[in-house]
Structure 1
Amino acid sequence: METMTIFTNPSSTLRRSPALTVGFRPPPMLSICSKKNGDSTASFDELKGLNSSNGALPRVPENQTSASPPDLRFDRLQIPDDEVECQYNRVFGNFVAREVIFNEEYWVVARLRAECHWENQPDVCNVQYLKAVFAQKEFYALKRQHASKLGEKCTCIVAMRSNQSSDKITILKSVVGTLEISMRRLFSGETFPGEIVKPPPFGSRAPGPGYGYVSNLYVPKSSRRRGIASNMLLLALEVAKSNGANEVFVHVHKDNIAAQQLYGKIGFQIVEEAGHCLLVDHNYLMRLKI
């Protein structure tokens, strides 16, 4: 049941906006979601990053990362399903949810996050330029975050159209959804993230298994109502459980009834005692024990 915007609040590491129209919050250039024939994917020129003044994506200086920007191939074909090698995947209908493998997939994820961030603000001046800048920053942040061996472990999940060996479909036209699951630990004395407790000495973390945190869940409008969001969530739960977590949390805006229903269908429940901590942000904290 996905009749709404599907997105969750972004990871605290990236510090982006809230949302879920099933969770992340809330920049004329080209839009990642084409309106023709219900196609939710971006065109080649939309994602290629041409340096021009007519609304194409601006180039990113090489000094934004310590390494040279990756050589993105926007004509790269999707790997046939039977040739994909990854730890986590889930097949459902004509789709498959799995870990991100290629840089091009990270780029589409970044563009989807930009689309989600500005989805309900179509009248903003230069919205497409702002989307492009947002996506480029998000891309490099994703690459740094998932390459780092320090801090919380994050797994970026994408939902893609199934692909057989005979199919010739590019990655850009394959991705139909994304989310992120990160592994975290509560501070000593906390029973849920953000609980107001006596400050622990030196910010010590609680012993025992950590918890999973879902963020940046988004499915473009033309790909909703196909079970994509719920199956990505089920895969995220598998990731969390395999990493030793015994519970998973997510923040959802208090007015986002559709999001609350989606998570409730999976088994999440609102953490009532967290309400006073989240009043300013207008969010509910939801939890699922696994």
Structure 2
Amino acid sequence: MQRQSSSFIIRHASSRDVGHVSDILTESFYRRHDHKVNFLLRYFTDLVYPLLRYGIMLDLNSRFSEQTPCYACLVATHTANKSQAIASLEICMRYVPTKSYRGFWLGRTMQQYPYIFNLAVHPKWRRRGVAKQLLRAAEQTVKQWGFSRLYMHVLEDNHPARNLYDEIGYRIHDQEGAFNYWLLGQPRRFLLQKKIGATK
């Protein structure tokens, strides 16, 4: 699969992309890019960065080598450098509740559906529509697998991500972390669902 829109190309990742994807994930999830981060935290992050990146690379290589039927890693590249990934996401099968949180009292049965995780855009390439293109490509991949629903998690306080997901049709299906929310003030995790119209 290879999709080109404007200046970006979306394709399935290969083992050659592992290094770039590891950089994207480490930068996105472990390094803060605002000026409010104090010096000690930034220094500590720089110190452990190679270890974090190495751990992510091992995980990626493991998933690539397993060759699971319903697993995909998609990357976005820029037309100016088609070999360097600038954003990525992964899709796997995960058990999710078949009823929404509103139907909790009816019982909680679980079923496997495609699930998006590790969606990340390198800080230098954010706010250019890359994440939206990756999500559209993920929908096409899931349709090819024969599924009609796609899931992902988002933190309650991640408003930019929630706005993006809402814009392209994801809706809250389940709420997690209510205990930590009420007791510790931590944000809840919302399980989002999108119906994409296929056979399963």
- The TM-score range, normalised by the shorter chain, is 0.7 to 0.9
Structure 2 residue 90 is matched with structure 1 residue 180: yes
1: distance between equivalents of 2:168 and 2:67? 31
Larger radius of gyration: 1
263 and 144 in structure 1: CA distance in 2 versus 1, 3 angstrom threshold: same
2: distance between equivalents of 1:122 and 1:162? 36
Residue 283 of structure 1: which of 161, 169, 189 is its match? 189
197 and 99 in structure 1: CA distance in 2 versus 1, 3 angstrom threshold: farther
Structure 2 residue 50 is matched with structure 1 residue 132: yes
1:155 matched residue in structure 2? 72
Structure 2 residue 33 is matched with structure 1 residue 114: no
- The residue correspondences of 1:92-241 to structure 2 (distance < 5 A) are 92-101=5-14, 103-120=15-32, 123=39, 124=41, 125-149=43-67, 153-162=70-79, 169=81, 171=83, 174-186=84-96, 190-191=98-99, 206=111, 210-241=112-143
Contact 2:24 2:86 in 1 (8 A): no
2: distance between equivalents of 1:162 and 1:138? 26
Return the offset for 1:149.
Answer: 4.4
**3-state SS in 2 of match to 1:229:** helix
Residue 2 of structure 2: which of 68, 89, 108 is its match? 89
Contact 1:90 1:231 in 2 (8 A): no
Aligned-residue sequence identity (percent) comes to 23
Return the offset for 1:260.
Answer: 0.6
Return the offset for 1:162.
Answer: 1.8
TM normalised by structure 2 equals: 0.78
Amino acid aligned to 1:91: Q
How many residue pairs get aligned? The number is 181
Name the structure where strand makes up a greater proportion of residues: 2
286 and 104 in structure 1: CA distance in 2 versus 1, 3 angstrom threshold: same
Amino acid aligned to 1:108: H
1: distance between equivalents of 2:127 and 2:144? 28
TM normalised by structure 1 equals: 0.56
2: distance between equivalents of 1:117 and 1:257? 16
2: distance between equivalents of 1:249 and 1:266? 13
Query: Using CA pairs below 8 Å that are at least 6 residues apart, which structure has the higher relative contact order?
Result: 1
**3-state SS in 1 of match to 2:127:** coil
220 and 237 in structure 1: CA distance in 2 versus 1, 3 angstrom threshold: same
1: distance between equivalents of 2:105 and 2:3? 37
Contact 1:114 1:132 in 2 (8 A): no
Amino acid aligned to 2:116: V
141 and 122 in structure 1: CA distance in 2 versus 1, 3 angstrom threshold: farther
Q: Displaced runs of 4+ in structure 1, greater than 4 A?
A: 195-200
1: distance between equivalents of 2:119 and 2:169? 17
2: distance between equivalents of 1:134 and 1:196? 41
**3-state SS in 2 of match to 1:242:** helix
287 and 198 in structure 1: CA distance in 2 versus 1, 3 angstrom threshold: closer
Unaligned runs of 5+ in 1: 1-87, 164-168
Return the offset for 1:191.
Answer: 3.1
Contact 1:211 1:240 in 2 (8 A): no
Contact 2:9 2:82 in 1 (8 A): no
**3-state SS in 2 of match to 1:262:** helix
CA RMSD of aligned residues (A): 2.7
